[in-house]
């Protein structure tokens, strides 16, 4: 059992550094909770202040004006701004995060048992007349943050603060956590798969519009209202690039998703490759049988399945599809040039 946190009355003046690292336990990232975007940012701000080598500080204070600037809150609202900050902290104090934690005892078959636990994020908050915002982390939450034992994910405040959607933050940190569990490769690519039910649960999509019934999520609404906007914002504002693949069953019903990710420095190449793939698939019907066979052989060489992102090719896929595509980027462009010439010739003959 973790040692209790001491020094509950201690105060530390927070340093609002947008480039500060946030270390968040993976168990907490995949826990069940729902926080609006400003509350998400407040939680990450406080986490960025933690010193895992001490257990003395529980209360952190910040200038509300600096918090507003970092979070993109409009201070021109005047008194309404401070009311917004008060309302936000009150709601944050009422929120809980639910986790399943392993127990010491095991079942008769030796399998682990888990206990359901719920934690408050914040114990109390104060906004002084001089505009100083104080937040005290709950002792149980502090213990969890200080005893992560290496199983945690790091991200920068800058990425979190730039985002406008709470769903973007949740999906981003889930995929960042998957990065730390991936196999090492030189291309910094990784994947994470979920059933649609698992994803709707971990994203806390509890509203009726996201469910057809108690067991069947409404993918159309989830995709249009949550996933597409979140992925677009992640790709524009974060240090990773996300490419999603739908797992379908009979009649095209989507039952699961695989999120393919790459580190930020691969974004230009991935953008270029995506455009290349789209163009290849458009030109393919206009090409000769020999060129189509070359294209299919290229895909089989990469062991790409019809699901990602090509069509009509048999093969055995694995988690390294995107990595291998990058390795073969030049070959892909070479085939594209052949197709362009043949498609141009095909077009000229048609006009003739």
- 193's enclosing H/E stretch is strand 189-195
Q: What's the rounded Cα separation, in Å, for the pair 105 and 58?
A: 31
Q: What is the pLDDT of residue 2?
A: 40
Q: In 121-227, where does DSSP find H-type helix? A: 139-146, 157-162, 166-179, 196-202, 219-222
208 phi-psi bin (left φ>0, alpha ψ -120 to 50, beta other) = alpha
Q: What is the pLDDT of residue 186?
A: 41
Q: What is the pLDDT tens value at each position of the chain, 352 positions in all?
A: 444 333 344 666 656 788 888 888 888 888 888 999 999 999 999 888 876 555 565 788 898 888 888 888 776 555 577 888 889 899 999 999 988 888 888 887 778 888 888 889 988 899 998 889 998 888 888 877 777 666 888 899 999 999 999 999 999 999 998 876 665 444 467 778 899 999 999 899 989 999 998 889 999 999 999 999 999 999 889 988 887 878 888 777 888 998 878 776 555 555 665 566 677 777 888 888 888 887 777 666 554 433 334 333 333 344 345 444 544 455 565 666 777 777 777 666 554 4
- Contacts for 329 with CB less than 8 Å, ≥ 6 apart: 269, 272, 273
For 31, phi then psi, to 5°, come to -80, 175
State the DSSP code for 3. P
Model pTM? 0.73
Sorted by where each starts, the structural domains of the chain and their CATH numbers stand as 1-162 (1.10.10.10), 267-351 (no CATH)
Strands 254-263 and 240-248: antiparallel
Tell me the β-bridge partners of 194.
257
């Amino acid at each position: 059992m973790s040692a209790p946190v001491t020094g509950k009355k201690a105060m530390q003046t927070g340093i609002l550094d947008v480039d500060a690292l946030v270390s968040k336990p993976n168990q907490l990232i995949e826990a069940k909770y729902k926080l609006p975007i400003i509350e998400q940012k407040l939680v990450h701000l406080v986490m960025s202040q933690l010193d895992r080598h001490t257990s003395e500080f529980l209360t952190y204070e910040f200038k509300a004006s600096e918090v507003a600037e970092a979070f993109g809150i409009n201070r021109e609202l005047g008194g309404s701004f401070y009311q917004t900050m008060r309302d936000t902290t009150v709601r944050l104090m009422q929120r809980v995060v639910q986790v399943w934690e392993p127990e010491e005892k095991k079942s008769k078959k030796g399998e682990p048992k888990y206990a359901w636990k719920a934690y408050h994020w914040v114990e109390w908050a104060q906004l002084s007349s001089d505009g100083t915002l104080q937040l005290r982390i709950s002792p149980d939450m502090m213990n969890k943050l200080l005893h992560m034992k290496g199983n945690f994910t790091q991200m920068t405040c800058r990425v979190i603060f730039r985002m406008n959607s709470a769903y973007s933050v949740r999906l981003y940190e889930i995929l960042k956590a998957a990065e730390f569990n991936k196999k090492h490769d030189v291309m910094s690519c990784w994947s994470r798969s979920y059933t649609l039910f698992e994803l709707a649960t971990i994203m806390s999509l509890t509203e009726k519009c996201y469910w057809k019934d108690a067991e069947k999520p409404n993918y159309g609404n989830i995709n249009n209202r949550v996933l597409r906007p979140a992925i677009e914002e992640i790709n524009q504002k974060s240090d990773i690039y996300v490419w999603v693949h739908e797992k379908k069953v009979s009649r095209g019903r989507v039952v699961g998703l695989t999120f393919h990710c790459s580190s930020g420095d691969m974004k230009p190449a991935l953008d270029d490759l995506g455009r290349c793939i789209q163009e290849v698939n458009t030109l393919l019907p206009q090409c000769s049988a020999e060129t189509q066979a070359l294209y299919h052989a290229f895909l089989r060489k990469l062991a790409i399945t019809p699901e990602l992102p090509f069509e009509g090719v048999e093969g055995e896929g694995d988690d390294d599809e995107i990595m291998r595509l990058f390795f073969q980027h030049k070959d892909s462009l070479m085939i594209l040039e052949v197709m362009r010439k043949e498609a141009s010739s095909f077009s000229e003959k048609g006009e003739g």
